[in-house]
């Protein structure tokens, strides 16, 4: 079975072709970072318009790069939610229309399920069950994964997600958009031990996350300290270490609670080097293993949507003809495959 995947949930247009026998055949991606940089964040209307401009050329490119003819396509998968409703509707309209025109089934994919399954695109893919730490711009959650669609959310962000905290703290430091990767780069130049930031919600039981207070702590520290490059780097490092330690502490609790020895990290923040190192140390200490997708599949991409969609199409799940986006969509409401 060969599926085309379409991702348009936010500010990246991703298209991919995935075959259940040959694997990933092609993937193309266009990022809107430059478009939104002047505004310091994503402008939903501009994002939607840019998806309209880019989506068809990228589909043609993905088909050409993989040597796929239209008659070779057996299904269309597109991101149905969660995300920006205007951006979602661009992908849903195009995806559902192509499926109708080509005479193949279509399926709407949950964006976070795409991230959760992204490590399955790698040669060293995890087996079920495992704990998944999903950390993207708008989401931080821990999920007990028994199989595709068999998800129990153990904990999630009650205010700012980790990615949001990174971006907002970067903005406080005067770093350009996108702030998270720039803050991580600055933190690499910082000295450890210069500042001690709190590890929020680790002094109480539970697996939920809260990073808004950590952002406020960073804001107060920035306001009180000298405004020079090394000081800013030291603050960035202390902030990053606090986020990584908090995530690691919660992961350890989730692993102990479930008894699992496999941990998946996915989503944009999973590309953070310090986070990967910290979780690798954690898993080594308990005799387990951590899995994550390659860097290009940590951020939003069509490959993860094509893979997730293929699994659901093979299970007989088909989207109705009506075009729908679902900006809010609980992960644990999905049907098991």
The answer on whether 134 is annotated among ligand-binding residues is yes
Residue 27 among known ligand-binding residues: no
51 marked ligand binding residue:
no
Residue 180 known to bind ligand? yes
- Asked if residue 36 belongs to a known ligand binding site, the reply is no
167 carries a ligand binding annotation? yes
The two three-digit tokens of residue 160, written as one number: 């700012």
Known binder of ligand: residue 138? yes
Query: Residues 143, 132: contact at Cβ < 8 Å?
Result: yes
d(CA 26, CA 68): 10
Nearest in space to 225 (alpha carbons), one of 212, 238, 209, 241: 238
149 is in an annotated binding site: no
244 is in an annotated binding site: no
302 a known binding residue? no
DSSP output for 234-301: HHHHHHHHHHHHHHHHHHHHHHHHH---EEEEESGGGG-HHHHHHHHHHHHHTT-EEE---GGGTSS-
Sheet with 106-110: strands ordered across: 23-31, 12-19, 2-7, 75-81, 106-110
Side-chain half-sphere exposure of 97, counting CA atoms within 13 A: 8
- Is residue 115 marked as binding? yes
Which residues does the annotation place in the binding site for Fe cation? 111, 115, 300
Which residues does the annotation place in the binding site? 111, 115, 134-138, 167, 180, 272, 300
Which residues does the annotation place in the binding site for substrate? 134-138, 167, 180, 272
């Amino acid at each position: 079975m060969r599926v085309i995947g379409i991702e348009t949930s936010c500010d990246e247009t991703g298209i991919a072709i995935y075959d259940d026998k040959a694997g990933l055949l092609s993937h193309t991606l266009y990022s809107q970072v430059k478009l939104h940089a002047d505004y310091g964040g994503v402008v939903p209307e501009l994002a939607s318009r840019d998806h309209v401009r880019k989506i068809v050329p990228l589909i043609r490119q993905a088909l050409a790069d993989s040597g796929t003819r239209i008659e070779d396509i057996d299904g269309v998968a597109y991101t149905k939610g969660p995300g920006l409703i205007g951006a979602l509707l661009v992908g849903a309209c195009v995806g559902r229309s192509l499926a109708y025109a080509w005479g193949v089934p279509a399926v709407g994919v949950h964006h976070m399920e795409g991230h959760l399954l992204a490590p399955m695109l790698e040669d060293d893919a995890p087996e079920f069950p495992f704990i998944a730490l999903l950390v993207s711009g708008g989401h931080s959650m821990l999920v007990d994964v028994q199989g595709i669609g068999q998800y129990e959310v153990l904990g999630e962000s009650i205010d700012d997600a980790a990615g949001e905290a990174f971006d907002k703290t970067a903005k406080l430091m005067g770093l350009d958009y996108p702030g998270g990767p720039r803050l991580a780069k600055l933190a690499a130049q910082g000295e450890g031990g210069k500042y001690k930031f709190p590890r929020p919600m680790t002094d109480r039981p539970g697996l939920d996350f809260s990073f808004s207070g950590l952002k406020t702590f960073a804001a107060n520290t920035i306001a009180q300290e000298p405004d020079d490059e090394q000081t800013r780097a030291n603050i960035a490092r202390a902030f990053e270490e606090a986020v990584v330690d908090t995530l690691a502490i919660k992961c350890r609790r989730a692993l102990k609670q479930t008894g699992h020895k496999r941990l998946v990290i996915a989503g944009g923040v999973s590309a953070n080097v310090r986070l990967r190192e910290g979780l690798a140390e954690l898993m080594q200490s308990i005799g387990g293993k951590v899995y994550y997708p390659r860097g290009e599949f940590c951020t939003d991409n069509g490959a993860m949507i094509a893979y997730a969609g293929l699994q659901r199409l093979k299970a007989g799940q088909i989207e109705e003809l009506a075009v729908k986006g679902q900006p809010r969509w609980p992960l644990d409401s999905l049907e098991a495959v």
